Chains A and B, each alone.
Chain A
């Protein structure tokens, strides 16, 4: 199957700083990328959907000015957590999809564990 990478895999930062997470589709062009976060012992929660070259669509309750998403190319999307606080500590996961059919699978990155001190 297709490969999606995330970088970094793990990051620790101080409260108030910004952190950028990269999501790359390595061997296919992703028309759509999704960002999820997962708190301990919970399921994945969708944060936003981004299509290449257009603004991301954020889920209700997710602050677009705090979680900046850029999808500048068909192989790269970035999530920047601005002015991070301890409550932003979570496991952030991206996924990518190519094609618009309901039978298309999504390919997930390995996740980025963010710890804000």
Chain B
């Protein structure tokens, strides 16, 4: 499986935008880029996914580099409830499980 690299931790002020980077230099043409997040003591939740084009939904935006070797999850206005571990994951087929790396632990301060 193609691997992803994320910073271990990031910090943001409340109501500021947050840009969470992910490198995936060995991504293949059929890999979708998925982002999940895990709040403390909860199961992960889906955030967003994309293939080539930038994507927006009510939770976040996903900016994908033209060469697809990196992507950035954008939280437009961080809230305290956004404090979580964010995982960037590549998926070929949903029949296979998600391979969780270490993710980025986001701290949001008031």
A residues adjacent to B (C-beta < 8 A): 1, 4, 6, 32, 34, 36, 43-46, 49, 91, 93-95, 97, 99-111, 113
Interface status of B14 (Cβ within 8 A of chain A): no
Contact of A101 among B42, B43, B93 (CB under 8 A): B93
For chain B, give the interface size range. Answer: 20 to 34
Where the two chains meet, the residues of B that have a C-beta atom closer than 8 Å to any C-beta of A are: 30-32, 34, 36, 38, 41-46, 49, 51, 85, 87, 91-103
Residues of B within 8 A of A109 (CB): 43
- Residue of B at shortest CB range from A44? B100
B residues near A108, Cβ cutoff 8 Å: 36, 43-45
The answer to whether A102 touches B101 (Cβ under 8 A) is no
Having A36-B100, A108-B43, one finds 17 other A-B pairs with CB under 8 Å, namely: A4-B43, A36-B97, A44-B38, A44-B44, A45-B100, A49-B96, A93-B44, A95-B43, A95-B97, A97-B95, A102-B32, A102-B91, A105-B49, A106-B94, A110-B42, A110-B43, A113-B41
